[in-house]
Amino acid sequence: MFTTGSAPCQTLATSWSISQMPHLDRQALLWSIEHIIAHGDTDIFPYPFEFEFLREKKEEIADALAAENTATFRPLSSLDSLVPKSRHGFRVAHQLYPTDAIFLLAATFSIAPQIEAARGGEDRPGFSYRFEPGEEFAMFAPNCRFGSWLQSQYDHTMFAEGQYTHVIEADISDFYQRIYHHRLDNSLLETVGDTTETRLIRSFLRDIRARQSFGIPVGGNATRLLAELSLVDIDRALLGEGYEFTRYVDDFRIFIKPDQDPYNALAFLADNLWSSEGLSLSTAKTRVMPFEQYREQLELSSGEDASQAEASAAERLLYALYDAEEGDQPPEEVVNLDLVAEIHIEIEKEFWDLGKIRVLLRCMKLTRDANAANFLRENYSILMPFAKELVLLMEEASGLIETKESGLGFLFGMRCATIPHAYRDHI
């Protein structure tokens, strides 16, 4: 018979208490660690040095995190930074503490099949980020990238003579920063239910946003899938009204038929975004154009016209790599492109296209360009806004240098002293 305060009774009570604690699945945690090691935690910031520890101790870390009580887990504050988005635009990006990133990704990965089912089949309008775990711990299908989206529209419009009169281009303003937590909570509960994972995600987002009621971190794959879930009701509303459209994240293309009014369609989208999700359209990125004009625009971006192919080579490159997970092989479009010349053209302009420069630097790393070392040595001081791409390219270039000096020593020598401490710490 157990007595109060006895050691056996305390041991049994402790074991029972631990067994009742909510935990994340160990396999999901281990997959998340492997994914972050292979692909990084964001596509914006340099990789934290802690990733090497994850690589060496992944089994032990998975065990420790699987024992964590998710009911009492609280994430640390994220690193919030203003980063370039386009030539004249900026956005706030967030880098989570490594263990926080693992927790959020593991919880999202565990419920991703239900989220994917709610989004619809392969013919659904939401084209971006289709959950399809693949080789090397990839999270999304390889054929659901921005370039694939443009190509699918091109293929469709080439055989759509007379079917449409106009096309609406519409983009949500500050999408990630304005996602309403209460609506996302409801979508999670409706799609998955009140589970350990959904409770963790909901409390995580509230804590990381300092108890604000809107906004999710930008840059990670977990929140990419959650963002897709937040627009499922908008997709259903447009389909229910009989509109034919396609969407890449927050970028809509609505194809207007002869019996439809383009401005009614645009008003319907704007009204549903505001009334249902608290979101609004970007006036600078929203327009209505004749169908033939849009088809010509797609033809230009596809490069089918030989006379336009050379001029649009860099643009097609951007489409091919837009939001793509980094791989080991360069896309076919990159192999014969003079990347150094392309970057020089961009950085000599009065106003930089920061997105294009970032992609070109990534391509230089993928192609192991022999000119990368000299290019970096001559231009590193003005390339500091591209910290992540610069550091990764430095690592790649150091392996191509045949010298007794270290690669970084060759690249920078004593000039490394001029690099700001914030960047030098990542080197």
pLDDT for the residue numbered 311: 44
pTM, to two decimals: 0.73
pLDDT for the residue numbered 92: 78
Average pLDDT score over residue span 18-25? 77
φ/ψ (deg, to 5) at 32: -65, -40
Q: Fill in the amino acid letter for 216.
A: I
Which one has a higher pLDDT value, 141 or 417? 141
For residue 19, what pLDDT band results from cuts at 50, 70 and 90?
Answer: low
| Separation CA 198–CA 205 (nearest Å) | 11
Average pLDDT score over residue span 377-381? 79
pLDDT for the residue numbered 335: 57
Average pLDDT score over residue span 88-109? 87
pLDDT in tens, 318-332: 555 444 444 555 555
φ/ψ (deg, to 5) at 68: -70, 135
pLDDT in tens, 122-132: 788 999 999 99
Average pLDDT score over residue span 401-426? 44
pLDDT at residue 11 greater than cutoff 50: no
pLDDT at residue 5 greater than cutoff 60: no
Q: For residue 49, give Cα distances in angstroms to 34, 46, 395, 426.
A: 15, 9, 14, 8
| Separation CA 412–CA 378 (nearest Å) | 9
Of residues 96, 103, 37, 105, the one with CA closest to residue 67: 103
| Separation CA 184–CA 297 (nearest Å) | 35
pLDDT in tens, 318-375: 555 444 444 555 555 555 567 788 888 888 877 777 777 887 887 777 776 667 777 7
pLDDT in tens, 172-192: 998 998 999 999 999 999 999
pLDDT at residue 6 greater than cutoff 80: no
Spans of all domains in the chain: 328-424
Task: Specify which of 16-30, 113-127, 258-272 reaches the highest per-range mean pLDDT.
Answer: 258-272
pLDDT, mean over the chain? 80
Average pLDDT score over residue span 285-290? 93
pLDDT at residue 18 greater than cutoff 70: no
pLDDT for the residue numbered 316: 54
* Axis crossing angle, helix 387-398 with helix 354-367, rounded to the nearest 10: 20
pLDDT for the residue numbered 336: 59
The DSSP output letter for 386 is G
